[in-house]
Structures are given as C-alpha cells and as structure tokens.
Amino acid sequence: MKVEYLTKYPKSILNKGNGYLSHYTHSLNPYTGCVFACSYCYVRRMPVSLFRDGEWGKWVDIKKNAEELFMKEYKRAKAKGPVSIFMSSSTDPYQPIESKEKITRSLLEIMSEDPPDFLFVQTRSPLVTRDIDLFSTLRNIRVSVTIETDIEEMKEAFTPKAPSISSRLQALKVLTEAQIPTQAAIAPVLPSSESFGELLAEVTSRVCLDDYFMGDGSNGKRTKSLKIPSMYENLDIEEWYSPDAYKKVYENLLHSFTEGQILISKQGFAP
C-alpha cells in the first residue's frame, strides 16, 4: 500500500480534553491520519477522516511546525495550571514515518525539560521503545500498548496493516523492564485464547479492557456504521460482538491479574 505523506503547518496542536478524555486537560496528535488503518477505528467516522479526500490509512499529514507550536501552547497551558496530556487521540504517535521525522520525539524532548503533571502515551507500534530515555525523565507517565488479541487470524482479519502481536508484546516487555509504567490495552476486545492473560502477565502488570460499545464515543454507533458487525458474521464469531463480550476476557484475565490490575474502558485511560 502506497501512503501519501503531506507536509502541514497547523495553527494549533494542543486540544482541550473533553468527552472520553475529559480527565485530561489536553490531547496531543503529532500527526493526522494513520497508516495502520484498523478496520474498526472510530476516527474513520470523525470529521478528520470524513471530510478528507483519500481513504483512511493511505495518507498521513506530518506537522512540520509541531515542535515550535507545542512549545508555545504548552508554556501557555502550564501558566494556567496543571497540565495532563493524552498522546494520541486520533492517530498513533508512532507512525512508521516517525522513525525518520521524529516529530513525536521532539515533543517528548520538550516535556522532558519541563514535565507535564501526567502524560499518557497510547500506541500499537514497537517504535515506542526508542524513546525510553525520554520516558524515564518524566515524573508521571504511562505507556499503553494496544494488544486486542493473541490470535493471529483475528489480528489479520481486523488489523492486517498493524504491527505484529509478537512485536507489541516484546515492546511492552522492554518498556516494563525499563521501569516505565505500562499497560496492555485490549481495545477493542477481539476473540482471544485462554492463555491470553498469561501472555500479557509476562510483559505488564496492568490491563485495560475496552470495546465498541464503551469506547467509540457513540455507544457503538460509529463502529456499526463501519459495518463491523458483518465482519463478525463472516468470521462466525457473532457472540463476540456484544456489550457483554468483554466479561469473558475479564474472567480469563483474573487467572493472571488481580481485580485492581484490570481496568475497564475510560477508567483505564485516565491519569
């Protein structure tokens, strides 16, 4: 798949936290668009995608002025009070192009000099381990790596362009061993095996469970409009497309984690 990379100079980069992210003062998106192109991604039904030419997953905007813009807006925000940041809400901050552009790293470098009150990093890319040196300088941080399933067939059916399950597990392990607070985000809940919990317990001590009905910002309507239910039907796994499906995974996780180590939806993404 050929991805179109475009250079952009946005007028702002720090967005006020609201809705699902109301626990945060701001969200931060170093890029616009996402090459991982997950089939169920709620951002597909948001204006950033709906009013944009080109299929979601085939374009990424590189915010070339991100460092300068962030430094100005971050300084202004900190002057008003505590600052907590969710990175990122509508893209993955570790797009493959990040290895070259280093937009995300430039923002982390600013934060390492003047740490926010809390930083939450959400990704599914093993490239995140590159920045362990900067994460280590931050007082309050959590790095959350999405691992929706341990079944390769499910990963390929729903997120064929995303990094492999094994590479994400390894990234979590490396982060945890570096004493960076981590969690595995099973978001959304996809079919998984009985050994999923054991696998995750080897690489992190915290898990967040989320699904389409709790986490897409519209009680599942956005996801339904993406025709995700038909994917479940075609794969003969309809029982997993249910508001109660996460409970099966929760019960499984209890064999490897305590109740306090398993968080549900918004609770797991809060500071």
Q: How far apart are CA 112 and CA 95, in angstroms?
A: 21
Per DSSP, 136 falls in state T
Mean pLDDT score, 240-266: 96
Domain covering 4-269: architecture: Alpha-Beta Barrel (3.20)
Dihedral of the CA atoms 75, 81, 87, 90 (nearest 10)?
A: -100
pLDDT of residue 52: 80
Is residue 25 over pLDDT 90? yes
Q: How far apart are CA 119 and CA 133, in angstroms?
A: 15
Q: What is the DSSP string of 7-62?
A: EE--S--EEE--GGGTTSSEEE-SEES-TT--TT-GGGGSHHHHTSSS-TTSEEEE
For the segment 85-125, what is each residue's pLDDT rounded down to a tens digit? 999 999 999 999 999 999 999 999 999 999 999 999 999 99
- Domain spans of the chain, in order of start: 4-269
For the segment 31-65, what is each residue's pLDDT rounded down to a tens digit? 999 999 999 998 887 777 777 888 899 999 999 99
For the segment 167-204, what is each residue's pLDDT rounded down to a tens digit? 999 999 999 999 999 999 999 999 999 999 999 999 99
Q: How far apart are CA 200 and CA 207, in angstroms?
A: 8
The answer to whether the beta carbons of residues 32 and 6 sit under 8 Å apart is no
Is residue 219 over pLDDT 80? no
pLDDT of residue 201: 98
For the segment 122-155, what is each residue's pLDDT rounded down to a tens digit? 999 999 999 999 999 998 999 999 999 999 999 9
φ, ψ for residue 94 (rounded to 5)?
-115, 60
H or E segment at 166? helix 165-177
- The mean of the pLDDT values for the chain is 94
Is residue 220 over pLDDT 80? no
pLDDT of residue 54: 84
